[in-house]
Every structure is written in structure tokens, then in C-alpha cells.
């Protein structure tokens, strides 16, 4: 079935440093979504990318979809303690009826 690899699994940064998580697929994706889960919380939708080479920004967060639509990245500029959590990418299954989630990247930030 559809699978997506997400790296790194864990990342620790000092407050103010940048952070990037990557999501890779062996097959071409129709779309990709990103979610954030705060410690003890539930995943919350951040953004969806659908076009080849698409770049979207949300304040300090930059999302990219690769030209071949097989990979995506989430970059956070100048991390803050509020960025702590696990970031998941999610892609559609072959039937387009459910989301398959990556294993997530857990970000910790020290001040």
C-alpha cells in the first residue's frame, strides 16, 4: 500500500534555530497534508499542497512540494518554544478515501 517516509524522527534545537522535516514517497502523490500534534494533544491540520513545486508560507512555517510530487518539506524559521510537538505528513491512499500518515518528526526546543 501507499507509504511515506518521514525524517528525522526526532530533532532538538535551541530556540531561534531553524528546523526542517522531510517527507518522501516512492510514488507520485496527488496531494500531501501536514499536521501538528502538541504534547498530550491531537493532530491539527496545518496545510495541504497539491501542485508540483508548490510553496506555501504560514508566518515562520514554509511548506514545499517537490517538482516530481514525491517529496515535501516543512521548514520552521527561528523556532520558538510554542513550536514544540510532532509534525506529521499525510498522503492519500490509493483509493483516495483515507489518509496514510508518516511516523512524524518530534521537535523539542530549549530556551
Partner 1 sequence: DGGITQSPKYLFRKEGQNVTLSCEQNLNHDAMYWYRQDPGQGLRLIYYSQIVNDFQKGDIAEGYSVSREKKESFPLTVTSAQKNPTAFYLCASIQTGRATDTQYFGPGTRLTVL
Q: Does 67 bind partner 1 (CB under 8 A)?
A: no
Residues, the chain: 111
Q: Does 78 bind partner 1 (CB under 8 A)?
A: no
Q: Does 5 bind partner 1 (CB under 8 A)?
A: no
Q: Does 63 bind partner 1 (CB under 8 A)?
A: no
Q: Does 6 bind partner 1 (CB under 8 A)?
A: yes
Number of residues that bind partner 1 (CB under 8 A): 28
Give me the DSSP letters along the chain: ----EEE-SEEEEETT--EEEEEE-SS--S-EEEEEE-TTS-EEEEEEE-STT-EEEETTEEEEE-TTSSEEEEEESS--GGG-EEEEEEEE-TTSSSEEE---EEEEEE-
42/59 with CB nearer partner 1? 42
Of 50, 55, 68, 78, the residue at the interface with partner 1 (CB under 8 A) is: 50
Rounded distance between C-alpha atoms, residue 37 and residue 103, angstroms: 12
- Interface residue list for partner 1 (CB under 8 A): 1, 6, 9, 30-31, 33, 35, 41-45, 48, 50, 88, 90-93, 96-104
Amino acid at each position: 500500500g501507499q507509504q511515506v517516509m518521514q525524517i528525522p524522527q526526532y530533532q532538538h534545537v535551541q530556540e531561534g534555530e531553524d528546523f526542517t522535516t522531510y517527507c518522501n514517497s516512492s510514488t507520485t502523490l496527488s496531494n500531501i497534508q501536514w499536521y501538528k500534534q502538541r504534547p498530550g494533544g491531537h493532530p491539527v491540520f496545518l496545510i495541504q499542497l497539491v501542485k508540483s513545486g508548490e510553496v506555501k508560507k504560514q508566518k515562520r512555517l514554509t511548506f514545499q512540494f517537490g517538482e516530481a510530487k514525491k517529496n515535501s518539506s516543512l521548514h520552521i524559521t527561528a523556532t520558538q518554544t510554542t513550536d514544540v510537538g510532532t509534525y506529521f505528513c499525510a498522503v492519500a491512499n490509493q483509493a483516495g478515501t483515507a489518509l496514510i500518515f508518516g511516523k512524524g518528526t518530534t521537535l523539542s526546543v530549549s530556551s
